[in-house]
Structure 1
């Protein structure tokens, strides 16, 4: 299945902490097989494995779970101890509150908050983390997915808000968080139904040990549970692309999801996307993954992705990334 790709804006953001510490990030980028010149193009994207390698390179270089993005170092093992402390709680609400209390013990640590407002719960990040909003966003994502993991069910978010103006890659947010988003708020956070806080924890220490071997990066990049309409459509398209270059039409996808085409269009619009955007994203991500991870001839890759002519693939790839397939592969030291 074609995996998502990651915008270069997030690559730049994750490097900021190391750069502020005076770390030479060029070797780290090369270790992750990300061409440093790629960072100069706002339309560039990298594959999930490339971003994973960069994350690990930064972790080793900074010895900080916050990768130098916070005002204080979070020593390796802090997140694991928080998870261990929360695992024995009676329900999710108690586990989250214990985690909030745990991080509140560290001077300069993240100022996390859990609030109950009637039928809605809000998890948020306050304090100077807003100076580096990428870290605040990562904390909300990690906590949301950790909570979903703890109870064995994805918690649907009602909304997410961010304490900064809309960034150039604002269109990424609705898909990333799976809910309506807004910018320029007083803080970064997300809301969900309060009843989820009463859910019992279903994980044990053995499962936690397994999760921690991949955390926190696995929590940042894991695919959602397919509960949003956009994720269901994307999953259907990606599965189809594995077996045939012809992607199903909107009507065919609607039939598979047992809804009318008009309903599918409306629901995708409510999630701030469209069928055409998702189809382009699936092809784009498959193209980037093919160029970044393999040595498949470009003509064969174009045909596999459903392009009848190489020139059409080149035009589409330039529109998606700002460069040509050949230039992208050469920049990685691959085959043209």
Structure 2
């Protein structure tokens, strides 16, 4: 299945704390099988698996669950103890309150809060926010985004249900990669807000906590790196279109991505309505189609086993040359070069792994 790839901006942001601490980042990239040459290419992307490996390597290198990004380190194990504390709560609202109070015991870290407010339409919303201003720290914006993402996805995990976000707001101007945020958060986003926060229906706060310690142990083996991976929650029209396209890539043989009119019919709207809704979300059918193909191609090239000609046919290109042109437009390089760089990173990592004690 095609999975959402991650922009190089987030890779650089995650590495910035290690750079500031004087840690050599090349071994970290090699451990994650991310070619160091890609760092300078704004169009390059990595798979969720690569990003997960990088975050885990950063945890060990910095000995800090905040990856060296915050004013003070958070010792490894702090997040796990917070999660253990939340398991004893009867519902999500009390669990989030306990999580905020838990991190409040450690000075210098992100301050969190979850409160209920009445929205403009009269409904009651739960607002999870980062209360302190982290902008004065290098990549503080990225750290606040991570806190927001992990807080929301941990909340969903605790109750065993996907909580759809209504909105997300950020206390800084829109960055160059602002178009990534609607996919990252799966909701309308706004920059230049008073506080970095996200809102959802307050009724979710009454949902019971259903996880136990056995489930927590499994989650912690992948956290928080897995929680940072981008998820498709299907709460926007763009996500629904993307899911339809991904499903077509998995099932259609020979490969054929549906036209915009076919997708509109599946979503029970007219083509014009679909076009307007996607435009309102800052995207288009063609852009989503390119994104699905791009992510599928990058995932395959990183794995390094599928012949490029077979890959091109599988994602719907009738000619290899058309695939090469499209991939260069998406990433600034050719499929062969992208795969070669990935293999070089993997090869460079192998001697280090062989020498590492068990």
Q: TM-score scaled by structure 2?
A: 0.88
Deviation at 1:164, TM superposition (A): 1.8
1:10: which partner in 2?
10
The answer as to 2:293 corresponding to 1:283 is yes
Residue in 2 that maps onto 1:124: 129
Displacement of 1:323 in angstroms is: 1.2
Query: How far 1:126 moved relative to its partner?
Result: 2.9
Partner Cα separation in structure 2 for residue 204 and residue 31 of structure 1: 32
The answer for the alignment partner of 1:234 in structure 2 is 242
Matched, 1:157 2:162: no
Report the CA distance shift for 1:181/1:225 in structure 2 as closer, same or farther (over 3 A): closer
Distance in structure 2 (CA, Å) of the matches to 1:270 and 1:157: 17
Specify which of 177, 196, 199 is matched with residue 185 of structure 2.
177
1:143 aligns with 2:143: no
CA RMSD, Structure 1 to Structure 2 (Å)? 1.8
Query: How far apart are residue 100 of structure 1 and its match?
Result: 0.5
Q: 5+ unaligned residues in a row in structure 2: which ranges?
A: 119-123, 345-358
Given that 1:138 and 1:220 are in contact with CA atoms closer than 8 Å, whether structure 2 keeps it comes out as yes
Structure 1 SS opposite 2:134:
helix
Aligned to 1:318: 328
- Residue of structure 1 in register with 2:21 after alignment: 21
State the 1:213 CA deviation. 1.9
Contact 1:150 1:203 in 2 (8 A): yes
Contact 2:164 2:233 in 1 (8 A): no
**1:246 matches 2:256:** yes
Partners of 1:325 and 1:210 in 2: CA distance: 36
Equivalent residue runs for 1:158-307 within 5 Å: 158-221=166-229, 223-244=231-252, 245-307=255-317
Report the counterpart of residue 349 of structure 2 in structure 1. Answer: none
Equivalent position SS for 1:113:
strand
Q: Which whole-Å CA distance do the structure 2 matches of 1:90 and 1:32 have between them?
A: 38
Q: CA deviation at 1:127?
A: 2.4
Secondary structure of residue in 2 paired with 1:302: helix
Query: 1:222, CA displacement in angstroms?
Result: 5.7
**Larger mean Cα displacement after TM superposition, 168-177 or 302-311:** 302-311
Once residues 207 and 329 of structure 1 are traced to their aligned partners in structure 2, the CA distance between those partners, rounded to angstroms, is: 36
CA contact (8 A) 1:237 1:247 kept: yes
Aligned length, in residue pairs: 335
| 8 A contact 2:115–2:126 mirrored in 1 | yes
Q: How far did 1:74 drift?
A: 0.9
Cα deviation for residue 128 of structure 1 reads 4.5
1:190 alignment partner, SS class? strand
Q: Distance in 2 between matches of 1:222 and 1:160?
A: 15
- Take 2:230 and 2:212, find their aligned partners in 1: how far apart are those partners? 20
The Cα of 1:212 is off from its aligned counterpart by 1.7
**Segments ≥4 residues shifted beyond 6 Å:** none
**Cα distance in 2, alignment partners of residues 202 and 227 from structure 1:** 23
- Deviation digits for residues 254-312 of structure 1, max 9, x if unmatched? 23333333333333334332222211111000111111112322222212221122221
Contact (CA 8 Å) 2:90, 2:209: kept in 1 or not? Answer: yes
Stretches of structure 1 that go unaligned for 5 or more consecutive residues are none
